[in-house]
Structure 1
Amino acid sequence: MGTIESAPRGFSGVGLENPVIVQMRICVPAELTTLVADLCQQQAGTAEVALHTGASILPKGDVFVVHVARESVEELMEKLRALKIESLGSVALTAPDLVLSDRADRAEETAPGEGADTVIWDEVSRQTGEESRLSWTFLSFLVLATLLAAIGIVTDSTIAIVGAMAVGPEFGPLAALAVAVVRGNWSLGGRAALALGVGFPIAMLSTALITWLALPADLFPRDVLDRAPAAEFIYHPGPFSLIVAVLAGAAGMLSVISGRSAALIGVFISVTTVPAAGFVAVALVLGEFSKAAGSALQLLVNLGGIVAAAVAVLYFYRLVTKRLPDGVALRLRGQAIRARR
């Protein structure tokens, strides 16, 4: 067989390293079309701008489809927010799986920074908001994870305990709390606090009830907690408990920002939140109140450490992210008002 020595005519091969391009669909009233077109074309990192005049029926207006490097999305979003586009129309973001375009490659080169290091704040708020709602799915996963942790504790099974860590859905609300603190989004913070404040007690009460019902069946001895060395780390909080929680919180928020779900699974497995909740339930039923208190402290240390680290990561990104100057935002608002008159 021969070897391929050159790319087909008209294909440069540059796109083989797929650029990190975001597709923006922007719906605007007709009176703002010229202003939005200028903003999109002048934005560093813009690869393509397509305009569909009169394409939007509800609301009536024009539709832009813009390909822009991820590094430039937040700046362009701030400019669009200054025009009140979210009230007058809409902005939708999607990430194409593959973009073959020399223009897209050049756009990414001209955009400041790196796509993987870019925070699109509305995207982070939406993602954490979706995962922080008190829903039947959230409660089901938390209850199942806590029950799995309890089984791992009474059977001295490290595998079951680690499995419970992976199943637990608690990082979503914890990340949402961090986003709420940094962005001042107290409605998001309230939803996250409600999910945690209701979810963990329900999961622990369910686990305690199942444990109490299992005692007459002699599925495990009453002194099982004294025979489970694999679970000792759960009710013995120490300096490393906080250190691990802080590292996990930082890694978890970085995985949310960068969209690396595989890293987030590692975060779930590294923190002792769900196992601590399961241990509290089992220990209270068995009358091991000192161990229950130690496990409850472990739970609080892990929850607090994760949120504190996530907040620190977000504040760091907020400091290093280039913000739209207030003067530019005011000028754009003025132009939008004049255009709509």
Structure 2
Amino acid sequence: MALRLMQVVVPADEKDKLHSLIRGESRIESWDQTIDEKRYKLSILLAVDDSEHLITKLEHHFSNTGTFRIVLYPVEATIPRPDAPDLERERGTAKENAKKEGKGRISREELYHDLVDSTRLSWVFIILMLSSTIVAATGLLRNSEAIIIGSMVIAPLLGPNVALSLATTLADFHLAKNALKVTFAGIGISLLFAISLGILLEIDPSAPQIATRTEPNLGDIGLSLASGIAGALAFTTGVASALVGVMVAVALLPPLVVLGMLIGAGYWDAATGALFLLFINIICINLSGVLTFVVQGIKPASWDKEGQARNTSRAAISVWIFLLLILIFALYYSHLNFDFL
């Protein structure tokens, strides 16, 4: 059972209200401390999937107070171990617990802070994109799957794509703008560098690792949809994101590098297939990411933004599906290889 330590700071004269609000809420243990004459702190040890409901509740009541703050820490271990049966009985005492948001995942705030850093364009991001492009190009030219997989581990493509899905789900246009900026910057950096490699190096479009990225099929759609789901779940459930990042990179980085090298070498027909594959993967990853967040019940903290977030999510899902159908029909009628596998 994943645990969190939540520290809540409120005005000292609001401590009775704080204790009244958390009464009946699921928690393992709590400790209080008077910081000074103006501030009171309550530390709460609780299960990770109980944190979002409590954060939302406390923020609603105390957000306008000057000293209010919530700090959330991941807990590696606690001794003595929490008694799971007793905790489950305590959860059953609160009527709303069966309908709580956040069950089976981390809180919305924790998820947001995990992703916001990935939407900052930095020199580290640029170097990682260049490095992953070099490694991917080497693997493609040498027909080495092991080297290509290594490039996927390096590529920092997971965070910005998941952040875009989260921004869509929350109708957070500032986060969406930053996520799009970093995503397009990463694609542009890799594409331009791959084009330069295509100009300088001898490219064989019939090489197996290159040819497979120029012939999209329905299996690629399934792969990219699974990648988007895995990417979203990696952040919401604590799955090792480095491993899941490989799934997202396998859908984005190799076709992107193939596209650039083929353009640089002047193989325009083959490059068209790689471009279709790249578009399919981008659409499917974001479509499945938004769907995953919606199914998990991720929504804005304030009630007045929930309607806007629902409309934004529905519009985004409709647009992604429409674009995907257009690409599928375009592939079918362009006489490209569009078999199931």
Under a length normalisation based on structure 2, what TM-score does the superposition of the two structures give?
0.78
- The one-letter code sitting in structure 2 at the alignment partner of 1:256 is F
Listed as ranges, the matches of 1:238-249 within 5 Å are: 238-249=217-228
Equivalent residue, structure 1, for 2:16: 34
Contact 1:68–1:107 under 8 Å retained in 2:
no
Q: Distance in 2 between matches of 1:250 and 1:292?
A: 27
Q: 2:265 maps to what in 1?
A: 286
* 1:313 partner letter: T
Provide Cα deviations, 1:268-311, integer angstroms capped at 9, x if missing partner: 24632111111111101110111112112211111110111011
Q: How does 1:44-55 map to 2 (within 5 A)?
A: 44-55=25-36
Q: Which residue of 2 aligns with 1:332?
A: none
Match of 1:110 in 2: 90
Partner of 1:141 in structure 2? Answer: 128
1:280 match: secondary structure: helix
Counterpart residue number, 1:65:
43
**Which residue of 2 is the match for residue 300 of structure 1?**
279
SS in 1 for 2:226: helix
Aligned 8 A contact 2:105 2:236 in 1: yes
CA drift at 1:85: 3.4
Equivalent position SS for 2:28:
strand
- What does residue range 86-235 of structure 1 map to in structure 2 within 5 Å? 88=66, 89-101=68-80, 105=84, 106-111=86-91, 112=97, 117-212=104-199, 214-215=200-201, 221-222=202-203, 224-226=204-206, 228-235=207-214
2:72 partner SS: strand
Alignment-mate amino acid for residue 54 of structure 2: L
Residue 246 of structure 2 corresponds to: 268
Partner of 1:330: none
- Structure of higher CA gyration radius: 1
AA at the equivalent of 1:158: E
Which amino acid letter does the alignment assign opposite residue 207 of structure 1?
A
- After TM superposition, give the deviation of residue 78 of structure 1 in Å: 1.0
Q: Structure 1 residue 231: deviation in Å?
A: 2.5
Does the aligned pair in 2 maintain the 1:143–1:203 contact within 8 Å? yes
Distance 1:140 1:20, change over 3 A: same
The Cα shift of 1:102 comes to 6.3
Residues matched between the structures, number: 293
CA contact (8 A) 2:194 2:258 kept: no
Report the Cα distance in structure 2 between the residues aligned to 1:296 and 1:30, rounded to whole angstroms. 60
Change (3 A) 1:285 1:79: same
Determine the C-alpha separation between the residues in 1 that align with 2:29 and 2:185.
Answer: 47
Deviation at 1:44, TM superposition (A): 2.6
SS in 2 for 1:142: helix
Q: Deviations over 1:127-170 (max 9, x none)?
A: 11122221211222122112211111222222222222222111
Q: Is the 8 A contact 2:196 2:261 kept in 1?
A: no
Measured after TM superposition, the shift of residue 108 of structure 1 is 4.9
Percent identity between the two aligned chains: 20
**1:246/1:305 contact within 8 Å kept:** yes
**Aligned partner of residue 22 in structure 1, secondary structure:** strand
Change (3 A) 1:199 1:103: closer
User: What's the RMSD between the two structures over aligned residues?
Assistant: 2.7
SS across alignment from 2:228 = helix
The residue type equivalent to 2:291 in the other structure is A
